[in-house]
Amino acid sequence: MQTILSIAIAITLATALAVVLLWRNLRVSGEMPSSLFAFLAILFTSGLDVGLIMFPLTEFPVYASEAPYQFASPLAIEFGFWGFLVWMFYFLTTFYFCAVEPRLQLFRIPLIKFFNNLVVIATCAFTGFLFLSYLPNYIHGISAPLRFGLVGLVVLCAVISSTDITFVKVLSVASTWLFFLLITLMWFNAGMSLGAFASVLGELGAYFVNLDKFVLPLTDYHAFYLFWWFSWSIMIGQFVSRFVGGLATWQLLLALLVIPSIPIAVWFSVLYYHFSHEVAIPPLYNLAMVTVGVIFVVNSLDSLMRLYTDNLDLTVQRFGRRNYILGNWLLMYGLILLYQFTPLKIEWIGLLVIGIYLAIYLLVFARHGRWRQTRPAG
């Protein structure tokens, strides 16, 4: 399985680099062009979930103690799992759905359309299932009724948000600002000076020095993350490509690789200071982390719901607002509950997505003979 993953990563990264070199000045736009900040806010909050908020403090001790990670600090390892290079997957799919799919319409082929929507629905439900599973780690002592009730409420909020694309955009921008506020609060709690922050941030240099080590799986856990990025890549590319506002290809690459990585780097550095200096996190601050994390889950779910309902024409306009909300809530919450009785792993979804990638590559070459002939006019 890791061999397939490694080959897929190598081909994907090589393709992304080829796209930038061949079509670096091509300007791409989506069907609903937005400002750069709005586009990045939608990308950031749709492409990430509560794990960004809550996982680092539980993962730093692992990276500090296990042998495969000793070539860099836990901060650099954590950043390598979440930042910079892995966003290349999102760049490639966003470019594809802006510049190539409108010409080739490959995702309208019935078989590809079926598996694509299957991945979207399965991943949407699986994201809710992971949230359900990890809730006791986020909220210690939470009762079972409250746990299931909170997940049901999150799904309901996501369904309501997905009824109007304006809700999705507003919630994405608002939650981005809340994330910045959370960083400020945690910085205040740490009592960290600018000098101390710069010292901690400097440890991220080990990531860039050892960038080659993050391309292929370091461990099974790293492979899990890479499968997760793969499984989300086509879905996020489909959704956020709608909001690209006339960026050149090289600008799109920088926007996706660099700009989201900056708040991730700052957030991880603040949390790493808490870990390395054993700074306690008061219950109120932990509640703030959980709250922002929950909003990120809503953002992720509403984006995926909007995507599969548009793809399958399960829209508010067709069924009415009440039926849309009730039907999608029952579908998604029911699947989340059913996941407790299945052995489904994100690796399986990742493999299915890699299969979709392979089909697209073959179809592109079969229809046009050479990759350069897929270049859009202009």
* Angstrom distance (rounded) from CA 180 to CA 11: 35
Count Cα atoms within 13 angstroms, Cβ side, for 349: 28
* Domain coverage including residue 44: 2-374
pLDDT tens digits, 16-37: 999 999 999 999 999 999 888 8
Listed residue (8, 24, 25, 33) closest to 89, CA to CA: 8
- 3-state DSSP call for residue 33? coil
Count H helices, E strands: the chain?
18, 2
Look up the pTM and report it.
0.89
Amino acid residing at 329: W
Start-to-end Cα distance in the chain: 40
Instruction: Give pLDDT, residue 378.
Output: 44
* Angstrom distance (rounded) from CA 227 to CA 8: 10
Instruction: Give pLDDT, residue 44.
Output: 85
Residue holding tokens 């992304």? 16
The CATH number of the domain where 152 resides is what? 1.10.4160
| DSSP assignment of 191-217 | T--HHHHHHHHGGGHHHHHTGGGGTS-
Reported as a pLDDT band with limits 50, 70 and 90, residue 322 is: very high
Mean pLDDT, the chain, rounded, equals 90
pLDDT tens digits, 195-235: 999 999 999 999 999 999 999 999 999 999 999 899 899 98
Domain count across the chain: 1
Phi, psi (degrees; rounded to nearest 5) at 258: -95, -50
For range 293-310, the mean pLDDT: 91
* Angstrom distance (rounded) from CA 46 to CA 164: 15
